[in-house]
Amino acid sequence: MTLQDVAERAGTSRTTAHYVLTGQDREMRIGEETRRRVLRAANELRYRPDLMARGLRTRVTRTIALIADAVASEAYAGDLVAGALAAAAARGYLLFVCETGEDVDLEERLVQELLARHVDAFLYATFFTRDVVVPPALRGQRVVLLNCRAPGLASVVPDEVGAGRTAAEALLAAGFGEGIWLVGEPAPHVFASVERLRGIEECLAGAGVRPAGTVACSWWPESALERFGALLDDGGEPAAVICLNDRIAMGVYQALAVRGRRVPDDLSVVSFDDSDLAVWLHPALTSVALPHRDLAATAVDLLLREDGAPPGEHRVPMPLRRRESVAARV
């Protein structure tokens, strides 16, 4: 069925039917009775507009592309996609989702294919926060970087410095001023590591508190179990720890358990990411959440701004999920 078929069924001109079906009836002062006839005719004929043809005429297809290094293979990436899908749908846009697997040639081909389909705008995303080199074909396009950064472009990233402050404040508020250890390997090349540590150190220093020490371990449970266990076996008596992610916290829990110690009775624990582990651990882990859905929603809002997304970093707060792993110090 065509627009002309709808107009004939409604007894109007094709132009009048077009104005009604594109929401311009009030602007064009089309009467209520005429509007109803057109809508009734379109419904009876099951008319659907040819969006591809309209896009070729107007150069607006109401589509967005999300190009990510990982979608199906990484758990966190799913929340980025879900957030972008919801935000795009709320604005009346369709979202194309593409995974590159960090294959530069594939990435370039995908961008060219999407440009050939007249996609209106692009989200360029990574599943962990890092600096990136954007494909040359995206320069000059409407694009916002999601969970990554590049010079001269708008980027939406988690406020990891603020997250570090939040984690430290949780322990300070519980009465800890001494015996706070950091657990995790400081990694200068990892955005989250550098910024979380910066926030922690700034907050503690502002309260006149120095960390008691750092247990350097990789960001996995096995390493944390071994290294934190060694600290305990050497007579270390930490009162509280800030783990750089939830997997490290799992290793700390295990190290305590095999030595007959309990969280939070013997040690309070705060962590980052608020992964599924945080609620599976017993007692449940207090963790600063990575707000992936909020990151994606913010990126879509910036992407679709009429005046364009202002370049530079746009940081999204990371909320604290309070659970049972922190007890007030007596």
Residues 77-133 have pLDDT tens digits of 788 889 999 999 988 899 999 999 889 999 999 999 999 888 999 999 998 899 999
pLDDT of residue 18: 85
- Contact assessment for residue 95 and residue 85, using Cβ atoms and an 8 Å cutoff: yes
CATH of the domain at 20: 1.10.260
Tokens of 72: 């199906």
Do both 10 and 71 map to the same domain? Answer: no
Which CATH number is 186's domain given? Answer: 3.40.50.2300
Q: Tell me the per-residue pLDDT of 149-172, one tens digit each, with 9 for 90 and over.
A: 999 999 999 999 999 999 999 999
Residue-wise pLDDT for 179-207, tens only, equals 999 999 988 888 999 999 999 999 999 99
Report yes or no on 328 lying in a domain.
no
283 in the same domain as 170: yes
As a whole number of angstroms, the distance between CA 149 and CA 85 comes to 21
Average of pLDDT values for 46-65? 67
Q: For residues 26-35, give the mean pLDDT.
A: 85
> Is residue 237 domain-resident?
yes
Provide the pLDDT confidence category of residue 58 given band limits of 50, 70 and 90.
very low
For residues 319 and 290, give the distance between their C-alpha atoms in angstroms, rounded to a whole number.
8
- Contact of 273 with 166, CB cutoff 8 Å: no
The closest of 130, 67, 144, 76 to 103, measured between CA atoms, is: 67
> Is the residue at 273 inside a domain?
yes
190 and 272 share one domain: yes
Identify whether 268 is part of a domain. Answer: yes
**pLDDT at residue 207 in the model:** 96
Q: Are residues 190 and 124 in the same domain?
A: no
Same domain for 148 and 78 = yes
Distances (CA, A) of 148 to 41, 131, 141, 155, 296: 48, 6, 17, 6, 12
Do 277 and 206 have their domain in common? yes
Domain count, the chain: 3
Mean pLDDT rounded to a whole number for the chain: 91
Span 196-247, pLDDT tens digits: 999 999 999 999 999 999 999 999 999 999 999 999 999 999 999 999 999 9
What is the pTM assigned to this prediction? 0.79
Q: Within a domain: residue 116?
A: yes
* CA 189 to each of CA 4, 130, 131, 256, 308: distance values in angstroms, whole numbers, following the listed order: 61, 9, 10, 30, 31
| Residue numbers of the domain that contains 245 | 160-290
Name which of 11-20, 73-82, 256-265 the model is least confident about. Answer: 73-82
- Verify that 237 and 129 share a domain, yes or no: no
15 and 76 together in one domain: no
pLDDT at 171: 98
* Average pLDDT score over residue span 16-45: 85
Question: Cβ(234)–Cβ(226) under 8 Å?
Answer: no
Q: List phi, psi (to 5°) of 226.
A: -70, -50
- Average confidence (pLDDT) over 259-279: 96
